[in-house]
């Protein structure tokens, strides 16, 4: 019988606010995944004026580095959570609440295989001289008073029965850029390693009230994806359709919840790139009944939402539903998650990916990230 052994590599260790935490992973073990858990009490007032209001907003980079320089993983916390949704269908069980000095919880999975049940693809730590985990946060003294974290490693056991992995998946933010009105970014993807998945995170620019100036479907307006130096077309059309189709590709819906305590008309991110349903309700902190009906601005289809009024000690509790968790969409997902259906540069030649920003001033100054997940065979 093959089973999972979950081992606490570190439990509730203090991490520097606004720093990078580094941890050497064990010298051996069939490592299937890492589970990162963070807790941080906020400083009173954090997020109340709009903008960042959750701990996940401050987890800027997670890296796993082998032998001092080989990238195994290099992504943001939000991208890591979106991969958890794509792999296992789970929206991270974070606690989003920014009242007074409330404690924030944040959970981030890091996969070395295809999902949490994979016994074929994993990281064999014995193949490396060293493997280091690095976690960077951009929090500050004005946002969180402290951050503690736990690192749980999931090993496949018994090692003799598990055997040798077919390989592991290298996941990295391969490119990022700031958008320019009516400009097209022309990308030639790497020709090394088979590609399991191509993802794109699209973040529009914020206005003075921390609301998106436009939708992610304008910040990245049209996309072209082609094999064999463009001779074979895989997709050529508007991002708006691909956003919806990517949910079908992985067979997942996205639902997020949170309790925001914000000044009226100030935006807060609910983590869904295209929101087609948002329901508010009153959350009382003082035991009193709300004096007014919690009201949000109607038909805000982007991730940013806003309350129309502020009431002391009364949170706006939200349930949102849509597609593109943390503004991440699937550009390519191998059919059946089979290695035979991965993009293989040896067969498919150069892969071209062109991303056009819409001809609108509101689509400028956004951020686009391209994330590649590629197979490294043992």
pLDDT digits (tens, 9 = 90+) for 276-312: 999 999 999 999 999 988 999 998 999 999 999 999 9
The C-alpha atoms of residue 15 and residue 197 are separated, in whole angstroms, by 32
Q: Given a cut of 90, is residue 361 above it in pLDDT?
A: yes
**Phi, psi (degrees; rounded to nearest 5) at 329:** -125, 155
Query: What is the predicted pLDDT for the residue at 334?
Result: 95
What's the whole-number mean pLDDT along residues 39-58? 97
Q: Above pLDDT 90, what percent of the chain?
A: 92
Q: pLDDT tier at 248 (50, 70, 90 boundaries)?
A: confident
Closest by CA to 88, choosing from 64, 109, 61, 62, is 109
pTM > 0.75: yes or no: yes
Average pLDDT score, the chain: 96
Kindly report which listed range (112-116, 273-277, 296-300) carries the lowest average pLDDT score: 296-300
Exposed, middle or buried: residue 100 (CB in 10 Å: 0-12, 13-18, 19+)? middle
Q: Give Dmax (Cα) for the chain.
A: 66
Query: What is the predicted pLDDT for the residue at 253?
Result: 85
8 Å CB contact between 17 and 139: yes
For domain 1-165, the CATH class is mainly beta
Query: What is the predicted pLDDT for the residue at 346?
Result: 85
> For residue 170, how far is the Cα from the chain centroid?
16
**Phi, psi (degrees; rounded to nearest 5) at 316:** -95, 105
> For residue 240, how far is the Cα from the chain centroid?
19
Looking at residue 328, the DSSP 8-state letter turns out to be E
The C-alpha atoms of residue 196 and residue 245 are separated, in whole angstroms, by 17
Q: Given a cut of 80, is residue 68 above it in pLDDT?
A: yes
Condensed to tens digits (0 to 9), the pLDDT of residues 175-197 reads 999 999 999 999 999 999 999 99
The C-alpha atoms of residue 330 and residue 116 are separated, in whole angstroms, by 19
**Phi, psi (degrees; rounded to nearest 5) at 82:** -70, -35
The C-alpha atoms of residue 53 and residue 263 are separated, in whole angstroms, by 12
Q: pLDDT tier at 113 (50, 70, 90 boundaries)?
A: very high
The C-alpha atoms of residue 349 and residue 195 are separated, in whole angstroms, by 12
Q: Given a cut of 80, is residue 235 above it in pLDDT?
A: yes
What's the whole-number mean pLDDT along residues 344-352? 91
Which H or E run contains 215?
A: none
Pick the CATH number of 167-378 from 3.40.640.10, 1.20.5.510, 2.60.120.730, 3.40.50.1220: 2.60.120.730
Written as six digits, the tokens of 140 are 């500050």
Domain boundaries, the chain: 1-165, 167-378
1-165 and 167-378 in the same fold: no
8 Å CB contact between 36 and 110: yes
Give the gyration radius of the chain's Cα atoms: 21
The C-alpha atoms of residue 271 and residue 318 are separated, in whole angstroms, by 11
Kindly report which listed range (91-100, 106-115, 170-179, 286-295) carries the lowest average pLDDT score: 286-295
Where on the phi/psi map is residue 310: left (φ > 0), alpha (ψ -120 to 50), or beta?
Answer: beta
């Amino acid at each position: 019988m093959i089973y999972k052994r979950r081992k606490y590599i570190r439990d509730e260790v203090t991490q520097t606010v606004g720093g990078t935490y580094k941890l050497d992973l064990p010298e051996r073990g069939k490592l299937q995944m890492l589970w990162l858990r963070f807790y941080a009490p906020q400083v009173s007032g954090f997020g109340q004026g709009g903008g960042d209001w959750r701990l996940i907003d401050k987890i800027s980079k997670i890296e796993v580095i082998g032998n001092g320089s080989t990238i195994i993983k290099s992504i943001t916390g939000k991208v890591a959570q979106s991969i958890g949704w794509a792999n296992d269908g789970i929206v991270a069980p974070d606690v989003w609440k920014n009242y007074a000095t409330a404690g924030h919880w944040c959970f981030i999975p890091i996969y070395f295989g295809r999902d949490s049940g994979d016994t074929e693809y994993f990281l064999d730590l014995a193949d490396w001289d060293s493997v280091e985990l690095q976690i960077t946060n951009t929090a500050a003294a004005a946002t969180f008073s402290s951050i503690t974290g736990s690192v749980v490693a999931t090993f496949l056991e018994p090692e003799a029965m598990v055997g040798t992995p077919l390989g592991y998946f290298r996941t990295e933010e391969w490119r990022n850029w700031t958008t320019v009105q009516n400009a097209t970014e022309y990308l030639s993807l790497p020709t090394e390693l088979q590609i399991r998945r191509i993802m794109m995170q699209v973040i529009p620019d914020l206005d003075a009230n921390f609301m998106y100036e436009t939708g992610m479907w304008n910040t990245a307006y049209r996309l072209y994806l082609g094999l064999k130096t463009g001779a074979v077309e895989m997709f050529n059309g508007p991002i708006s359709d691909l956003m919806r189709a990517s949910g079908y590709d992985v067979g997942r819906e996205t639902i997020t919840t949170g309790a925001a305590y914000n000044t009226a008309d100030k935006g807060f991110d609910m983590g869904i790139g295209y929101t087609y349903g948002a329901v508010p309700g009153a959350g009382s902190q003082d035991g009193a009944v709300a004096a007014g009906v919690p009201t949000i601005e109607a038909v805000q289809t982007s991730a940013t939402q806003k309350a129309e009024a502020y009431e002391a000690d009364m949170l706006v509790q939200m349930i949102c539903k849509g597609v593109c968790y943390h503004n991440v969409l699937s550009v390519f997902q191998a059919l059946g998650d089979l290695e035979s259906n991965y993009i293989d540069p040896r067969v498919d030649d150069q892969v071209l990916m062109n991303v056009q920003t819409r001809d609108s001033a509101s689509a400028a100054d956004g951020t686009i990230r391209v994330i590649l997940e590629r197979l490294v065979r043992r």
